[in-house]
Chain A
């Protein structure tokens, strides 16, 4: 079983629609990161959240860290085909040296 569970595993939407991806755990994390990965490439960091309840915005992407620091969400407004990719959450436990990744959500935005 994954320490970080992402849902849904796959999401297919039309351009212009909104979507939300969830990252849940029963463990507390000192920080949580979201990455996007395109086919044939390594993941690229989108954002790091460190405070419970924190909300960060990156253009049309909104990231939220749960109050108890056990979960997070990524919301995309008015999705575009360029948002297509694998979205990965990754948590760091107790200010350690390493990350634990979730299983990923594959997003397909059709024009």
Chain B
């Protein structure tokens, strides 16, 4: 199993550009999450999904959109990139509730907006 894979690993965007961060898991997990981590800080939840076709906002959803058309994939869309979106983005997945099932994280995408 590859676990949670994210592409790209690095990306530089100009202000106002758009992009999609890809996330795929091969563990048949129901729950998927997108977090951002600013330098030296903890993780903040952007969006999450408890199954295909179901998504919900986290703490910091503004400027982002998600979709979950399949169990495996959970892409994160950035529209009109802003310097404040410079961060490392982590995708994670788990079988079910965090208290019962471990969240597995991808290796991250480092995004710079200039």
Pairwise interchain contact A33-B98, C-beta atoms closer than 8 A: yes
Given A31-B99, A102-B42, 12 other A-B residues pairs in contact with their CB atoms under 8 A? A31-B98, A42-B4, A42-B106, A97-B31, A97-B50, A97-B97, A98-B98, A99-B103, A100-B45, A100-B59, A101-B42, A106-B40
Cβ of B90 and Cβ of A92 under 8 Å apart? no
A48 within 8 A of B: yes
Contact A99/B42 with A40-B107, A42-B108 known, Cβ cut-off 8 Å:
no
* B33 at interface by CB-CB < 8 Å: yes
| Chain A residues closer than 8 Å to B107, beta-carbon distance | 40-42
Cross-chain contact of B48 among A33, A44, A97 (Cβ < 8 A): A97
Kindly provide the distance from the CB of A8 to the nearest chain B CB, expressed in whole angstroms.
Answer: 13
CB-CB under 8 A for A98 and B48, given A33-B98, A45-B102, A45-B103: yes
Counted as pairs of residues, one from A and one from B, with CB atoms less than 8 Å apart, the total is 67
Interface residues on chain B, size class: 20 to 34
**Quick one: which of A40, A43, A90, A106 has the most chain B CB within 10 A?**
A43
With a cutoff of 8 Å between Cβ atoms, the chain B residues found around residue A96 in the complex are: 97
In the assembled complex, which residues on chain B have CB atoms less than 8 Å from the CB atom of A106? 40
The distance in angstroms between the C-alpha atoms of A104 and B43, with both chains bound, is: 9
Report 20 cross-chain contacts, Cβ distance below 8 Å, ordered by A residue: A31-B99, A42-B92, A42-B105, A42-B106, A48-B98, A48-B99, A88-B43, A90-B98, A92-B97, A92-B99, A95-B97, A97-B50, A98-B98, A99-B98, A100-B45, A101-B35, A101-B42, A101-B43, A102-B42, A104-B42
